[in-house]
């Protein structure tokens, strides 16, 4: 089945074209600077490269049209016409409590995604714009929504309820939702497959350590707890987000630094985290380099970042009553032996021991980096959210 995968954000649309039967990914691209000046299309199909800068401002509909035109172009395209696309799979950030699984897009599904806009005001509206553009440009092609929150819908109330008046859960829908669900789902299943063990019998901790970062406790194949919460701000220290902190700090800085709610939102989401502590960069590679040349704030940022992850490993082992497998994925998880080594320091008591040589060679590949005698298998597993979206879309569309 030929599937177009769309990740439609506020100012960009990322796309991939997949053939699920044979070749995997056929083409990919990015339309950036939507709604502002100097928009750009970057399209890649095998070794064919095509960049194009349209005149004036473009909207999401124009962006999807640019992507489709590039895919069918006689020179740099990969298919002859749009009808060759069998289905479209959309990444949708927030499915609230309505969606524990992916869904064929219907008017009801669109209404339900709209109902979740207050929970994800920056993400669901552009996701919907991508869906609407495809409905307009490819009216006869079925579309599927794959939700970032869906995998975590298996959490028990004691894991997702905040200690607030219970009414806020009922009236405002305030609870832990969790994000990066597609990635946690993929790497947990891939880890079980790699180990040759049924996921239903494993206690797995997945650590998605990208610019956004989160961890999940996956017990018997189900998400039982996850570090991101009502929004992606909670949990681990991230590139620019605080992760966990005393909520009183919010009121304190608003009062003492004269911040509006919007200022505070920006401050804790965009100016904090690794960038905030180091004062240098949100990119861990830059911060490692600065730390190695003696920068104390950079060193501190890495210490706080890795210590937080180590604490969550302990917490999730306790939450699951044990641990079989620890999985590292995404930017730093897949590519940084240094960060992995720093995280697992002093975790031998849990059975986590890594072989330094294996750790050094596990860069962007699936690999078991544990010592032979470790009771917990520590794996590096490159994430592949597009593969999950392609598979989910294929499964749902083939059942129509
Ligand atoms: P992602 O969001 O998964 O694309 O991850 C991007 C982030 O991963 C970057 O901003 C870096 O902080 C981190 N990263 C990527 N490669 C490395 C590396 N080799 N060493 C340390 N951090 C890395």
Q: Looking at ligand 1, which atom is closest to the CA of residue 363?
A: 19
Q: Looking at ligand 1, which atom is closest to the CA of residue 383?
A: 3
Indicate whether 161 belongs to any domain. no
Look at residue 133 and tell me whether its pLDDT is greater than 90. yes
Does the Cβ of 211 fall within 6 Å of ligand 1? yes
Q: What is the largest CA-CA distance in the chain?
A: 61
The total number of structural domains in the chain stands at 2
For helices 60-72 and 124-137, the axis angle rounded to 10 degrees is: 50
Instruction: State whether 363 and 252 are in the same domain.
Output: yes
Of the listed ranges 11-25, 79-93, 169-183, 194-208, the least confidently predicted one is 11-25
Mutating to test ligand 1, I would choose from 210, 214, 339 the residue with most ligand atoms within 8 A of its C-beta, which is: 210
Indicate whether 57 belongs to any domain. yes
- pLDDT tens sequence across 105-129: 999 999 999 999 998 988 999 999 9
- pLDDT tens sequence across 187-236: 999 999 999 999 999 999 999 999 899 999 999 999 999 999 999 999 99
The whole-number pLDDT of residue 188 equals 98
Indicate whether 397 belongs to any domain. no
Domain holding 87, by residue range, is 2-147
Catalytic residue among 86, 107, 148, 167: 148
Instruction: State whether 136 and 70 are in the same domain.
Output: yes
Give dist(CA 342, CA 345) in Å, integer: 6
Token pair belonging to 265? 């939102």
List 370's β-bridge partners, or say none: 354
Look at residue 23 and tell me whether its pLDDT is greater than 80. no
Of all protein residues, the one whose alpha carbon is nearest to atom 2 of ligand 1 is 210
**Last residue of one domain, picked from the residues 147, 165, 180:** 147
Indicate whether 181 belongs to any domain. no
Q: Tell me the whole-structure pTM to 2 decimals.
A: 0.95
Indicate whether 154 belongs to any domain. no
Look at residue 368 and tell me whether its pLDDT is greater than 80. yes
Does the Cβ of 335 fall within 6 Å of ligand 1? yes
The whole-number pLDDT of residue 22 equals 79
The whole-number pLDDT of residue 24 equals 87
Instruction: State whether 249 and 352 are in the same domain.
Output: yes
Give dist(CA 64, CA 43) in Å, integer: 12
Examine the residue annotation and report whether 148 is marked as an active-site residue of this protein: yes
Q: CA-CA distances (angstroms) from residue 4 to 14, 135, 264, 281?
A: 10, 13, 37, 34
Indicate whether 328 belongs to any domain. yes
The whole-number pLDDT of residue 284 equals 97
Neighbours of 367 (CB within 10 A): 18
The whole-number pLDDT of residue 167 equals 97
The mean predicted confidence, pLDDT, of the chain is 96
Indicate whether 177 belongs to any domain. no
Give dist(CA 332, CA 6) in Å, integer: 24
Of all protein residues, the one whose alpha carbon is nearest to atom 10 of ligand 1 is 283
Task: Give the DSSP per-residue string, 223-239.
Answer: EEEES--SSTTSSS--S
CATH number of the domain enclosing 90: 3.30.420.40
Instruction: State whether 100 and 231 are in the same domain.
Output: no
The whole-number pLDDT of residue 246 equals 98
- pLDDT tens sequence across 26-75: 999 999 999 999 999 999 999 999 999 999 999 999 999 999 999 999 99
The whole-number pLDDT of residue 51 equals 96
CA of 193 to the centre of ligand 1 (A): 25
The whole-number pLDDT of residue 122 equals 87
Indicate whether 18 belongs to any domain. yes
Instruction: State whether 201 and 140 are in the same domain.
Output: no
Of all protein residues, the one whose alpha carbon is nearest to atom 15 of ligand 1 is 331
């Amino acid at each position: 089945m030929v599937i177009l995968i769309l990740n439609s954000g506020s100012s960009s649309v990322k796309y991939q074209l997949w053939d699920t039967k044979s070749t995997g990914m056929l083409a990919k691209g990015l339309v950036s600077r939507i709604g502002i000046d100097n928009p750009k299309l970057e399209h890649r199909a095998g070794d064919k490269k095509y960049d194009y800068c349209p005149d004036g401002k473009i909207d999401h509909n124009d962006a999807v049209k640019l992507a489709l035109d590039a895919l069918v172009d006689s020179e740099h395209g990969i298919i002859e016409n749009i009808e060759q696309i069998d289905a479209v799979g959309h990444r949708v950030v927030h499915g609230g409590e309505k969606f524990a699984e992916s869904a064929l897009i219907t008017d009801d599904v669109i209404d339900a995604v709209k109902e979740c806009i207050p929970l994800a005001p920056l993400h669901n509206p552009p996701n919907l714009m991508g869906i609407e553009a495809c409905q307009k440009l490819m009216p006869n092609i079925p579309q599927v929504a794959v939700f970032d929150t869906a995998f975590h819908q298996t959490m028990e109330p004691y894991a997702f309820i905040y200690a607030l008046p219970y009414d806020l859960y009922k009236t405002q829908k305030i609870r832990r939702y969790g994000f990066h669900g597609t990635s946690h789902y993929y790497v947990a299943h891939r880890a079980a497959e790699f180990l040759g063990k049924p996921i239903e019998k494993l206690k797995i901790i997945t650590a998605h350590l990208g610019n956004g970062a989160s961890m999940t406790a996956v017990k018997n194949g189900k998400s039982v707890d996850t570090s991101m919460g009502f929004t992606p701000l909670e949990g681990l220290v991230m590139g620019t987000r605080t992760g966990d902190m005393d909520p009183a700090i919010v009121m304190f800085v608003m009062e003492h630094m004269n911040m509006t709610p919007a200022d505070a939102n920006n401050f804790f989401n965009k100016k904090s985290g690794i960038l905030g502590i180091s004062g240098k960069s949100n990119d861990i590679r830059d911060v490692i380099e600065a730390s190695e040349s003696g920068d104390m704030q950079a060193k501190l940022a890495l210490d706080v970042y890795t210590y937080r992850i180590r604490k969550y490993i302990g917490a999730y082992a306790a939450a699951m009553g044990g641990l079989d497998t620890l999985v590292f994925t995404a930017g730093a998880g897949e590519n940084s032996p240094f960060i992995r080594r720093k995280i697992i320091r002093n975790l031998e008591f849990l059975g986590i021991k890594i072989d330094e040589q294996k750790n050094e060679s596990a860069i962007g590949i699936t690999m078991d980096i544990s010592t032979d005698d470790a009771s917990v298998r520590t794996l590096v597993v490159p994430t592949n959210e597009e593969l999950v979206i392609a598979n989910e879309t294929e499964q749902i569309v083939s059942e129509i």
